[in-house]
Structure 1
Amino acid sequence: MKKYFSLIILFLVAFSNSAKSQQLDKVVAVVGNSIILKSEIENQYIAQGSPADVSAKCIILHQLLTQKLLAQQAAIDSISVTEDEVDDNINNRLRYMSNQAGGQEKLEEFLNRSLLQYKEEMRPTIREMLIANKMQRSITQDIDVTPNEVKRYFENIPADSLPNFNTEVEIGEIVFQPKLTDAEKKPFYDRAEQLRQEIISGKDFGTMARLYSQDPGSAPDGGEMPFADRESYVKEFSAVAFKLKAGEISKVFETDFGYHFLQVLERRGEQVRVRHILISIVPTEASLTRAKQLADSVYNEINAKRLDFYTAATTYSDDKATKYNGGMIINAQNVQTRTTYIPVDQLDAGIFTAIDTLQAGQYSKPSRFTGPDGKSAYRLVYLKSRTPPHQASFNDDFAKIKEAALEDKMNKVVADWFDERKKSTYIRIDQEYQDCDVLKVWL
């Protein structure tokens, strides 16, 4: 499912190009009560850059058959998605595409249509994709593996096929973000208030957001955000958004992202649609100096063993992702298992440099870095352990083997599910694709 998901993203980009070609369409497959058109395959084939290996078209058709069979069963099982889920998915994709294209106007020029028109064209495709994803999750949601199943899975791997693992490390970090005084933050507040007053005086909110808002996600859309509930926003933003009536413009307020003001566009039950303008708070050199002084002080306390790393992280770190995990970084590729073992080739370049010369149990001196938000801060890094490259071992790599065993079990369950559904579902594939090896399972 991951593969066809990525293809759908590319399909969004290629859709308009194929529309311009005015190809003669035909039905190339039927599965149950759904048809698959040749243009659907060509759209995605073009999105992949028209690879020389035409078997890519066979794979695309296989993915479309899979998606439609899942969606049909979802209708039987009353599995659906809300229009808000569809909107959010499309809006997130369009924001990404706008950034890639260099702005909303350039994207509309590339698509040869307005984004509003494009969103409506894509709605049925995205809805079906989301429903298929949800159906597959429902098939596998209760599956787990016992330790004995993990052991049997490992023992069935031929000795010469055991995977080799790269060097892995366990690392922690304490992040010290600069804290500005009220006087240092005032220029940013004043800028937000100035924009707010100009809008109240008659300037267009959407135009001002496109020109001045520093939220890259919503600024290209005039500051507009899709319908969302209270839990979708940080608490300060939510408190303001759900207090105002439709049409009202808020006062300037502060969140971790900076200073905002917003306007409620529409309310729908426990959801609200707003537009906002953000003015980011940029650290001053004085605030960075104070952050470095605190970081140096904590480093000295830890190094002198007057303070343990876990306590220091939970007390001083400003990184919410690691603060409540004792500063330890979770492997982003295996979030579900929450493993702290991370292959070195997946490390952020700055962290790799910080631990490169450390021995297990040592700490790096605090250094300045640029966070995901583009702002400067300081951090010290802890190297808890370093595991050298090795061949898979049941005891040492149990978490990884369990994950592989679970995926294998889930794949078998899904395969069995498809085998059963295919027996009772009418399936026809055009002669043009009947030589595709990947499609043999459907014939």
Structure 2
Amino acid sequence: MMKKYISLLGIAMMSIIYLQSVYGQGRLVDRVVATVGSSIILQSDVEMQYAQYLAQGEKPNEEMKCFVLQQLLTQKLLSQQAAIDSIEVSESEVDDNLNRRMQMMVRQAGGKERLEEFLNRSLLQYKEEMRSNVAEQLKAERMRHTIVSTINVTPAEVKQYFESLDQDSLPYFDTEVEIGEIVIKPELTKEEKEQFRKKAEGYRQQVLNGSDFGTVARLYSEDGSAPYGGELGFATRDHYVKEFSAMAFKLKEGEVSPVFETQFGFHFLQVLQRRGEEVNVRHVLIKKKATSSSLQRAKAKIDSIYEKVSEGKLAFHTAASLHSDANETKYAGGMMTNPEDNSPLIPINRMDKETFTAIDPLEVGQYSKSFLSADQTGEQVYKFVYLKSRIAPHKANLGQDFAKIQEAASQDKVNRKLSEWFEQRKENTFIDINEDFLRCDVLKPWMEENKEILANK
């Protein structure tokens, strides 16, 4: 597996090195591969997207460049209409998107320094080179949303869509369940927290004594921003939890904060730059971790809640609303939803091992005993679950699967709306594609200007 990863990463970096020769060093001449209205798409645009595809661990596939160019063509049409409709994106939105992309690339390259070595430039320089393309992508996404935002489907349309499907090829659904959860997170005492606060304070003192903040963050911070030296990019006050915002927006540029606590752990930060109502900071985070004593207290608390619920002294949904620490479910009476379609039915093959093991022996209406699990951040928690209903494996039908069929019908309507929009825009927009891409079947619908060439192939 490691050899495969290194091989694929090497291919991706070879593509990036190729891009440097195309437009970074000027030894080769870049070329236009498509024109959409007043905009052009360069070979380097296609190669950059393809390099990112390879960097995600995908196998080399020249056909993928056909799909990359198709995506860039749709992006140009959407962004041009966005300009006409005065659709804009903020600098902070672009910064946030760029930061997420950079974090992913740093992880895939094996570190910031290694990625910069491959790119032959700093990440800040690379981010600036990508900025205009990312801004265009965000405008295109916003335009796409505008086109389909008013679409909805009626029950009659759902029924009509289902009846139009090949009844012999309907999907088969595995067992699904409706379940609720009550979650208790270990709470640390002030004394238990002190070890983590002291750890953060020790790293802060290194910075105050002259160590580079970015180096300290890269070495010791437990936040996803560590590979970037802790830098978070420009953001508004409401982007962060209140304790972090309060500290970030009261300091002067260059000032280092004292250690402070949030729900994520102990931080200290430095303000790098202010820009209107936005601020760019870098920080170090030391997470609070459960101790054996705090886990024992959490176990005792959830067992007490379980006893009251299982004996009928306290309703499950009331107990969840009053006591559960899972904000994602407590305000819904503890009931969980399928993140893929927001329905209450969850396929058992999508559950984590611990929850499946707890649910599997239960009858409908029963509660599991408490068990140790992990929350969405990976932190240890105790929980017990409630089985409200179980649907056996079955072929898709309107009675049991209305929500899924409704989602499919809605997506079908969205696709048809977008297809109509693109067909109309293509008819009224000059589009020219380099003959090197005539081999791409996926691009033939775009080649209205190349019909004569295609006819002679």
Q: Provide the TM-score with structure 1 as the length reference.
A: 0.90
Query: Is the CA contact (8 Å cut-off) linking 2:15 and 2:47 kept in structure 1?
Result: no
Partner of 2:322: 315
Summarize the Cα distance change of 1:435–1:250 in structure 2 as closer, same or farther, 3 Å threshold: closer
One-letter amino acid matched to 1:242: F
The Cα of 1:13 is off from its aligned counterpart by 7.0
Query: Is the CA contact (8 Å cut-off) linking 2:232 and 2:280 kept in structure 1?
Result: yes
1:75-94 equivalence runs, <5 A: 75-94=83-102
Q: Which moved more, 1:21-30 or 1:339-348?
A: 21-30
Q: Tell me, what secondary structure is at the counterpart of 1:283?
A: coil
Partner of 1:287: 294
Inter-partner Cα distance in structure 2 for 1:330 and 1:229: 31
1:69-108 equivalence runs, <5 A: 69-108=77-116
Partner of 2:6: none
The Cα of 1:418 is off from its aligned counterpart by 0.9
Q: Which moved more, 1:266-275 or 1:290-299?
A: 266-275
Number of residue equivalences: 429
Inter-partner Cα distance in structure 2 for 1:353 and 1:26: 57
Query: Is the CA contact (8 Å cut-off) linking 1:13 and 1:47 kept in structure 2?
Result: no
Partner of 1:40: 45
1:158 to 158, 166, 171: 166
Inter-partner Cα distance in structure 2 for 1:195 and 1:53: 46
One-letter amino acid matched to 1:29: A
Partner of 1:6: none
The Cα of 1:32 is off from its aligned counterpart by 0.8
Deviations 1:104-145 (A, max 9, x none): 112222323221221122222212211111111111111111
Partner of 1:224: 231
Summarize the Cα distance change of 1:371–1:101 in structure 2 as closer, same or farther, 3 Å threshold: farther
Deviations 1:263-284 (A, max 9, x none): 2222222222112221211211
Deviations 1:35-93 (A, max 9, x none): 22334334444554586764433222222211111111111111122222111111111
Partner of 2:18: 18
Deviations 1:260-317 (A, max 9, x none): 1222222222222112221211211111111111111111222112122111111111
Query: Is the CA contact (8 Å cut-off) linking 1:16 and 1:112 kept in structure 2?
Result: no
Q: Tell me, what secondary structure is at the counterpart of 2:233?
A: coil
Partner of 1:355: 359
Deviations 1:14-33 (A, max 9, x none): 76233256566432221111
Inter-partner Cα distance in structure 2 for 1:432 and 1:187: 63
Partner of 2:267: 260
Deviations 1:182-211 (A, max 9, x none): 111122222222333343343332222222
One-letter amino acid matched to 2:132: P
Partner of 2:193: 185
Query: Is the CA contact (8 Å cut-off) linking 2:177 and 2:387 kept in structure 1?
Result: yes
Inter-partner Cα distance in structure 2 for 1:360 and 1:86: 48
Does 1:195 find its partner at 2:203?
Answer: yes
Partner of 2:381: 377
Does 1:386 find its partner at 2:393?
Answer: no
Q: Give the aligned CA root-mean-square deviation in angstroms.
A: 2.2
Partner of 2:424: 420
Q: Tell me, what secondary structure is at the counterpart of 2:46?
A: helix
2:64 to 56, 69, 86: 56
One-letter amino acid matched to 2:295: L
One-letter amino acid matched to 1:17: I
One-letter amino acid matched to 1:164: Y
Partner of 1:368: 372
One-letter amino acid matched to 1:384: K
Partner of 2:437: 433
Query: Is the CA contact (8 Å cut-off) linking 2:13 and 2:51 kept in structure 1?
Result: no
Query: Is the CA contact (8 Å cut-off) linking 2:16 and 2:51 kept in structure 1?
Result: no
1:198-347 equivalence runs, <5 A: 198-215=206-223, 217-334=224-341, 338-347=342-351
Inter-partner Cα distance in structure 2 for 1:241 and 1:134: 30
Partner of 2:129: 121
Query: Is the CA contact (8 Å cut-off) linking 1:264 and 1:274 kept in structure 2?
Result: yes
Query: Could you list the runs of 5+ residues in structure 2 that have no partner in the other structure?
Result: 1-10, 23-27, 449-457
Percent identity over the alignment is: 55
The Cα of 1:405 is off from its aligned counterpart by 1.2
Query: Is the CA contact (8 Å cut-off) linking 2:184 and 2:382 kept in structure 1?
Result: yes
1:146 to 145, 154, 167: 154
Q: Tell me, what secondary structure is at the counterpart of 2:390?
A: strand
Inter-partner Cα distance in structure 2 for 1:91 and 1:47: 15
Query: Is the CA contact (8 Å cut-off) linking 1:62 and 1:438 kept in structure 2?
Result: yes
Summarize the Cα distance change of 1:44–1:197 in structure 2 as closer, same or farther, 3 Å threshold: closer
